[in-house]
Structure 1
Amino acid sequence: MVKSVADVMSHDPIVVTPETPIQEAIQIIAERRISGLPVVNDQGKLVGMLSETDLMWRETGATPPAYITILDSVIYLENPKHYEKQLHKVLGQTVQEVMSNGQMFTTTPQTPLREAARLMHEKKVHRLPVLGEGDRLVGILSRGDIIRAMASSEAEA
């Protein structure tokens, strides 16, 4: 029998809002021993993800861009906007200031598990938000969920 995402996903995932204080989100991640949190708006729609990688900026800090000076002029060797983005993450006080909200990969409960696993592998993501009707977050699929499904399939065989 082909398993779907709904068969193995974590239902009712722990979520935060963009306004959640970053320290509160850090506590949730640490206490629940999870690697990331979906960020939803008031309607329950996904607006971003907060991952351990996003939070690492707070500890590592931002690296100023390399530059040279010629005749009292500063010439940046890389885009200073990248530094501004890093600095914003380091100093952020709310989830919205720190979360990733670029291209997000999602799945649906009906998607075959193999297809979702392939997407996670190809895109190098650790978790996929599962969206139901009206693009509302209904679950989350993690690599751990897939591994546990593989283990249970082997045990049944």
Structure 2
Amino acid sequence: MAKAVADVMTPNPLTVRPTTVLKDAVQVLIDHHISGIPVTDDTGRLVGILSESDLMWQATGAPLPAYITLLDSVIYLKNPVRYNQELHKALGQLVRDLMTEQVVTATPSQSIRDAAQTMHDKHVRRLPVVDQDRKVVGILTRGDIVREMARSYDETAQSV
């Protein structure tokens, strides 16, 4: 019988709010040895995720947009709206300034296999697990899946 996400996820994960000061969120990541954390509103609904990748904007800054001038007109070679978003992330001081809003999620009843495929396809390291109201009930990481694989191998070896 295939296991569900609920069987291997970490229940009731740590979360931060969009208004959390970035310095405090980084301290939570460090103190708990985690590389990402769900961002929830006051009701526990998922509104984003903050990961090490998001934090890299603070370290690297936003590159200046490439542009050319032609007959006293400025022509941007990079989308100015995207540059403004990158600049906002580079200068942000709150979690909402850096968090990723489009979050790939899993459900508790989803199979581990399907969740692992989603993680692989979307190139994500973790999936917040949400209920029907998008409230965060757990988190599934690559490490959780690998640990479950190890348990499965041990069970197979013991039954032989």
Calculate the TM-score normalised by the size of structure 2: 0.93
Question: Which segments of 5 or more consecutive residues in structure 2 lack a partner in the other structure?
Answer: none
Q: Deviation of residue 101 (structure 1)? A: 0.3
Deviates further, 40-49 or 68-77: 68-77
Q: Deviation of residue 136 (structure 1)? A: 1.2
Whole-Å separation in 1 of the counterparts to 2:133 and 2:77: 45
In the other structure, the counterpart of 2:2 is 2
In the other structure, the counterpart of 1:11 is 11
In the other structure, the counterpart of 1:109 is 108
Q: Secondary structure at the match of 2:16?
A: coil
Q: Which amino acid aligns with 1:63?
A: P
Q: Deviation of residue 26 (structure 1)? A: 0.8
In the other structure, the counterpart of 2:92 is 92
| Aligned-residue identity in percent | 53
Q: Which amino acid aligns with 1:115?
A: D
CA displacement, residues 13-46 of structure 1 (integer Å, 9 cap, x when unaligned): 0100011000101111122111101000011000
Q: Deviation of residue 133 (structure 1)? A: 4.4
Calculate the TM-score normalised by the size of structure 1: 0.95
Q: Deviation of residue 48 (structure 1)? A: 0.4
Question: Which segments of 5 or more consecutive residues in structure 1 lack a partner in the other structure?
Answer: none
Q: Secondary structure at the match of 1:128?
A: strand
Whole-Å separation in 2 of the counterparts to 1:135 and 1:73: 46
CA displacement, residues 36-59 of structure 1 (integer Å, 9 cap, x when unaligned): 010000110000001111100000
Q: Secondary structure at the match of 1:135?
A: coil
CA displacement, residues 107-131 of structure 1 (integer Å, 9 cap, x when unaligned): 1111111111111111111111111
2:60 matches 1:60: yes
Q: Which amino acid aligns with 1:136?
A: K
How large is the Cα RMSD of the aligned pairs?
1.1
Q: Deviation of residue 82 (structure 1)? A: 1.2
Q: Which amino acid aligns with 1:44?
A: G
Deviates further, 145-154 or 67-76: 67-76
2:129 matches 1:138: no
